[in-house]
Amino acid sequence: MREQSFVMLKPDAVKRRLAGEVLSRFEKRGLKIVAAKMMVISPELAKKHYAEHAEKPFFKDLVSYITSGPVLAMVIEGGDCISLIRKMVGATNPSEADMGTIRGDYAIETGRNMIHASDSTESAAREISLFFKDSEICQYTLPDEEIIYEEP
């Protein structure tokens, strides 16, 4: 099923100049970037985005991490892409993430794990609407969709 996921390169990924490298993995997989913007997240938006973790002991550090520099917020589209991107991202704790995943290849600590990706259709819809207006999401066809998908 064609889906959209909210994906965000966190400030450590941007500051380490790994944005292009990570973005390129999604492109090479055949996924479609339909929205992207660089921004410094406000504490208010960070708290809304991570509302499910409000009671966790790491919440304060998480908000200061995610607001500590620019992020690259994106909407990515593709077949079953929510679970597919979560697999590409790897386990929350990079030291437990498989090699070949983004966190497993580039990161070391949970508190600096480089990337966020939606974990369900419900959170994808919620997160996309927190960060993007409908008018900021582009609809277009990639010329190789008929090569990548059996039924484009």
Ligand X SMILES: Nc1ncnc2c1ncn2[C@@H]1O[C@H](COP(=O)(O)OP(=O)(O)O)[C@@H](O)[C@H]1O
User: In the chain, how many H helices and how many E strands?
Assistant: 8, 4
Task: Kindly state the tokens that stand for 109.
Answer: 């600590």
53 catalytic, yes or no?
no
Determine, following the binding rule CB under 6 A, whether residue 119 of this chain makes contact with ligand X.
Answer: yes
Near ligand X by CB under 6 A: residue from 42, 64, 92, 120: 92
Judged by CB under 6 A, the residue of 14, 34, 62, 102 near ligand X is 62
d(C-alpha 120, C-alpha 99), whole Å: 23
Which range, of 14-22, 71-79, 111-119, 139-147, touches ligand X by CB under 6 A?
Answer: 111-119
Residue of 67, 68, 83, 110 that binds ligand X (CB under 6 A): 110
Q: Identify each DSSP E strand in 10-139 by its residue range.
A: 32-39, 71-79, 115-117
Min. distance of Cβ 46 from ligand X in angstroms? 11
Amino acid at 14: V
Of 17-25, 26-34, 106-114, 144-152: span binding ligand X (CB under 6 A): 106-114
Q: What is the DSSP letter of 7?
A: E
Catalytic member of 10, 32, 103, 116? 116
Q: CA dist 22 to 8, 52, 147, 152, Å? A: 11, 26, 23, 25
Binding site for ligand X (CB under 6 A): 53, 58, 62, 92, 110-111, 113, 116, 119
Annotated catalytic sites, by residue?
116
